[in-house]
C-alpha cells in the first residue's frame, strides 16, 4: 500500500540483511549490531554531523513502509529499539535519544524499506538544524568503533537481564 519503489528496485537494506556487501548497498556486515529472526539493526551509513553513530532498525523481510509493517515486526522493532536506546545512552554517553521514521518521498523516505532511526542526542547539538542539511557519508572504519561500543553494551544488557531472571527463578 502506498509503495513508491521503482520497478526492479534492488533494495540496499535487504542486501545488508542478507549479508551481501556490494556497490548496491552501503551497509557492511561490520555495521550489524543486532539480528534476530524478525529484525536487524545497523550503524547507519549516513550521519548527521553532531550525532554520529546512529542506528537503523529494519524488518528482515522486505516491507516498504509503516503502512505495510506487520504487527509482529513492528512490536519487535519497538522492543529492540528500547534495548538499543539504553545501550546507546551508556555507550555514547549521550543525554537523550531521538527516534525518526520516514514514509514515502514526501516524508523524506529514500530507501524503500521500512527503517527506524535512533539518534544519540546531546545538549545544544542543533540536531534539527543539522538534520536539514546534507547528510555525511561516514567512513566504514569509523563506524566500527560505534558498532563495537553498542555490541558490548547490548551483551552487557543481556547478561544483566539473564542474571535477574535466574535470581527471580531461584527465589521460587
The phi-psi region of residue 124 (left if phi > 0; otherwise alpha if psi is between -120 and 50; otherwise beta) is left
Distance CA 6, CA 10 (A): 9
pLDDT at res. 39: 98
93, with CB counted inside 10 A (0-12, 13-18, 19+), is exposed
**Which residue in 68, 80, 75 sits closest to 42, CA to CA?**
80
Distance CA 32, CA 132 (A): 26
pLDDT at res. 134: 81
pLDDT at res. 136: 87
- Go through the chain and tell me how many residues it has: 172
Domain spanning 12-170, CATH architecture: 2-Layer Sandwich (3.30)
Handedness of CA 98, 39, 108, 133 (dihedral sign): positive
pLDDT at res. 133: 87
Domain boundaries, the chain: 12-170
pLDDT at res. 85: 97
pLDDT at res. 161: 81
pLDDT at res. 69: 98
pLDDT at res. 117: 97
Q: What three-state secondary structure class fits 137?
A: strand
pLDDT at res. 29: 96
Distance CA 29, CA 79 (A): 22
User: What tens-digit pLDDT sequence spans the chain (172 residues)?
Assistant: 789 999 999 999 999 999 999 999 999 999 999 999 999 999 999 999 899 999 999 999 999 999 999 999 999 999 999 999 999 999 999 999 999 999 999 999 999 999 999 999 999 999 999 998 888 899 999 999 999 999 999 998 888 888 888 888 888 7
- Segment holding 41, helix H or strand E: strand 39-43
**Which residue in 106, 99, 84, 93 sits closest to 131, CA to CA?**
99
Amino acid at each position: 500500500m502506498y509503495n513508491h519503489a521503482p520497478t526492479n528496485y534492488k533494495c540496499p537494506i535487504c542486501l545488508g540483511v542478507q549479508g551481501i556487501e556490494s556497490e548496491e548497498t552501503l551497509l557492511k556486515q561490520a555495521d550489524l549490531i543486532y539480528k534476530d529472526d524478525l529484525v536487524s539493526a545497523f550503524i547507519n551509513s549516513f550521519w548527521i554531523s553532531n550525532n554520529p553513530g546512529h542506528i537503523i532498525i529494519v524488518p528482515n523481510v522486505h516491507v516498504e513502509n509503516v503502512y505495510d509493517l506487520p504487527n509482529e515486526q513492528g512490536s519487535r522493532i519497538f522492543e529492540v529499539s528500547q534495548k538499543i536506546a539504553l545501550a546507546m545512552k551508556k555507550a555514547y554517553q549521550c543525554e537523550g535519544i531521538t527516534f525518526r521514521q520516514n514514509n514515502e518521498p514526501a516524508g523524506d523516505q529514500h530507501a524503500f524499506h521500512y527503517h527506524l532511526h535512533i539518534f544519540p542526542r546531546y545538549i545544544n547539538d542543533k540536531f534539527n538544524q543539522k538534520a536539514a542539511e546534507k547528510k555525511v557519508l561516514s567512513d566504514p572504519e569509523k563506524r566500527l568503533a560505534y558498532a563495537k561500543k553498542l555490541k558490548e553494551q547490548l551483551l552487557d544488557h543481556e547478561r544483566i537481564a539473564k542474571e535477574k531472571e535466574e535470581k527471580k527463578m531461584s527465589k521460587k
